[in-house]
Structure 1
């Protein structure tokens, strides 16, 4: 008996998105490393926590495909790219990545709608809502940096921004509290 409840086309598209989310995680990770190396430990940790959140998104796609009887395919992912040139460049790049990811999610929603795969359409609504939050967060980062003075911000303003982002709550745990048993 065939227990697969997802089309090959959706299985492939969702698997591709699983890998996109993995790439997003690595982008945040690389930006976090860059920020920490620049002395912005709070911003770095904020980005590390978001790297974990993006990895969790990848796992959501993996689990969904498996639950529908499909088999996700792990692909090689490209390098996250060059380091940002400045905090403005970093935050603008975060926003661009989130907008690009939103467009990919919308394409998946369209595909699920076309195929009348209501289970997948319903599953993807969580990601539609999540992308609204992610884009808003990225815009807030850009706005906070502009208020601080942008790339010409004073050391005091950047110190305050760094501290503010270090204390910002989000659903991902602090990178420093992760262990092998509790990732």
Structure 2
């Protein structure tokens, strides 16, 4: 069966391929955080991070769908090792916040690469992710503030998450299409 000719890779699409790996890695890291919280009998924190893992998976597959839609070759990458060893909930939340800040910088680089290439369609595609990172950083910052205020009373964080809605849970109506459908 002959292979179909695919569009050549620009810097933007090389970075997008890298970002797919970053999003899958974030998903796996969030699963590791969720499992740690589950093991510590902190069900609200576990549930929150399991949801975050699915959301990051959906982000990766939205990027995959965009590459497919624009006739670019896609490779599903492996992911780097995730961190599994922690001593306190605040460590995990700080790691999540740092991770989201790095993703925001990566998304900004993607927008810049699209703009530099006069690729307005790709730039527009990335705008949703820019807005999403504002929400992600805000929610992790709030969770970190609550954790710092709670101190050693981790059940205060649990009560906060049970009582408050933190983030959109990955249910944004305007999210780009996800390869295989969003979970």
With the length of structure 2 as denominator, give the TM-score of the two structures: 0.84
Deviation, structure 1 residue 3: 7.1
Contact map agreement 1:45 1:166 (CA 8 A) in 2: no
8 A contact 2:36–2:84 mirrored in 1: no
For structure 1, the residue ranges without an aligned partner over 5 or more in a row are: 174-180
C-alpha RMSD of the superposition:
2.2
Aligned length: 169
Distance 1:146 1:89 in 2: 10
In structure 2, the residue matched to 1:40 is 42
1:105 aligns with 2:103: no
* Deviation, structure 1 residue 72: 1.4
1:161 partnered with 2:163: no
Aligned residue number for residue 171 of structure 1:
169
What is the deviation of 1:90? 0.8
Instruction: Verify: 1:143 aligned to 2:139, yes or no.
Output: no
Render the CA deviation track for 1:73-98: whole Å, top value 9, x for unaligned: 11221121232221111111111000
For structure 2, the residue ranges without an aligned partner over 5 or more in a row are: 172-180
Instruction: Kindly state the Cα deviation for residue 182 of structure 1 after the two structures are TM-superposed.
Output: 8.9
| Structure that is richer in helix per residue | 1
